[in-house]
């Protein structure tokens, strides 16, 4: 994944592998963004867009946020704003935090495993018995 693409990511149609990959981890990126403090939708969406983690237009985040609400991984509260309309703030629930911690625990090993395979390190042989 290239860091340099951030600015142009919006105008580019990601390939299938890329969009599948991003979809899989996006949910946890969203959860991670609200771990330390509640964030409102536009804030979440723009942080994600700037990070290059989004697979498609910013609007595609909202179905995800809606599912996270339904699954009780996040909770929301409305807050008045000094400027403009009230904003809906998202924060992690206990199960949201648990899901994020689980992902964070699995991710480094997963990332290393994929890196290892991509570098074509010979995998530990498991079928040596069948070799002549």
Partner 1 sequence: MKSEFAQSTAIESFLRSVEREAAVLPADRRGELLADLAEHIHVALAERPGQEQAVLAELGDPRAIVGTALESEPAADRIPDPSGAVKALRVLLWVSLVIAAIAVVGIAVGNYDLPVYVEVLTLLPVLATAVHVFFLRPGRAVLRVTLTVTTALWVAGVLVNLLNGAPGAVIGALVGVAILVLLHQRSTRAWLAGTTAA
Q: Which residues in this chain contact partner 1 in the complex, by CB under 8 A?
A: 10, 23, 40-42, 45, 49, 56-60, 62-67, 81, 83-85, 87-88
* Cβ–Cβ under 8 Å, residues 51 and 6: yes
Is the CB of 15 or the CB of 124 nearer to partner 1? 15
Shortest Cβ 81–partner 1 spacing (Å): 8
The nearest distance, CB 40 to partner 1, in angstroms, is: 7
Least distance between partner 1 and beta carbon 132 (Å): 48
* Closer by beta carbon to partner 1, 81 or else 95: 81
CB closer to partner 1, 18 vs 115: 18
Q: Are 43 and 26 in contact (CB under 8 A)?
A: no
Closest by CA position to 59, among listed 41, 84, 80: 41
Residue 40 token pair: 């409102």
Least Cα distance to 61 among 23, 93, 8, 99 occurs for: 23
């Amino acid at each position: 994944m290239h860091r340099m693409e951030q600015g142009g990511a919006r105008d580019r149609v990601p390939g299938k592998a890329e969009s599948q990959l991003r979809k899989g981890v996006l949910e946890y990126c969203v959860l991670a963004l609200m771990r330390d403090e509640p964030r409102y939708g536009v804030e979440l969406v723009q942080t994600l867009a700037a990070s290059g983690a989004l697979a498609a237009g910013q609007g595609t985040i909202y179905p995800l946020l809606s599912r996270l609400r339904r699954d009780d991984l996040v909770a929301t509260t409305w807050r008045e704003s000094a400027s403009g309309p009230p904003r809906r703030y998202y924060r992690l629930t206990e199960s949201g935090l648990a899901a994020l911690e689980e992902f964070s625990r699995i991710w480094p090993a997963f990332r290393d495993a994929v890196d290892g395979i991509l570098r074509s390190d010979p995998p530990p042989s498991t079928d040596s018995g069948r070799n002549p």
